[in-house]
Amino acid sequence: MSKIFPKSANALPLQIVIFLAIAGGVATAAVTYYSTPKYLRVGYQPVQPVPFEHSLHAGQLGIDCRYCHASVEKSATSSVPAAQTCMNCHSIVKPQSPLLEPVRRSYETGEPVPWVKVHVAPDYVYFNHSVHVNRGVSCVECHGKVNEMTAVWHDKSHSMGFCLDCHRDPANYLREPKDVFNLDSPTLAAQGRLEKAHQNIRDWKIMPPQSCSGCHR
């Protein structure tokens, strides 16, 4: 047997065990990291430091999304409101509510409220909010009917297939720009105005990328 297998083969079983252990550890770490609500997020609804009700503010009171998410039309991110934005109202409305203590503390100290992000694109994905909302894609298409949510949850899959469905056929997802922030407005297609959607695509030269480099930069 010694003439068939070199002496180094004696270490092969140990090497196989070490390899399998490392591979198993890497696989376990990957599954643990990516198969969590942070990545498989549909239904993800974290507890927030302040029980902000979108159904009250955006729904019942009709506050425009842009009042809090001020940069959504101008930049890649939608921005989270500073405590100053909250205190514009809450210095008068329920100013002593214990539920608003984190907001008051943030306003006084300058330390941000530790909001837990519900919608987070992976590091390898590029997404620009302004490009979408300025061409008629409503918040609802990606975030669901936020104006009906007491506490916001992750409503859409945000998978690559989800994005490509829209990029391949944007006409079914467009609204008139004036209706983008009206979360109850139907799409042009749902209104029976599909030709108008196609006209907007032509007029505004809407050409959503379908290649890898469009979103993975």
pLDDT in tens, 110-161: 999 999 999 988 889 999 999 999 999 999 999 999 999 999 999 999 999 9
For residue 36, the model assigns a pLDDT of 64
- The two three-digit tokens of residue 64, written as one number: 């425009």
For residue 69, the model assigns a pLDDT of 96
Element housing 141 (H / E) = helix 139-143
**113/139 Cα distance (integer angstroms):** 23
For residue 37, the model assigns a pLDDT of 58
Q: Find all residues with CB under 8 Å of 85, minimum gap 6, and list them.
A: 67, 68, 70
Beta partners for 174? 137
For residue 16, the model assigns a pLDDT of 86
For residue 34, the model assigns a pLDDT of 65
Please spell the DSSP secondary structure of 53-64, one letter per residue. Answer: -HIIIIIIS---
Q: What phi-psi label fits residue 215: left (phi over 0), alpha (psi between -120 and 50 degrees) or beta?
A: alpha
Regions of the chain with pLDDT less than 50: none
- The two three-digit tokens of residue 146, written as one number: 């936020």
Q: Find all residues with CB under 8 Å of 102, minimum gap 6, and list them.
A: 49, 50, 113, 114
127 within 8 A of 121, measured Cβ to Cβ: yes
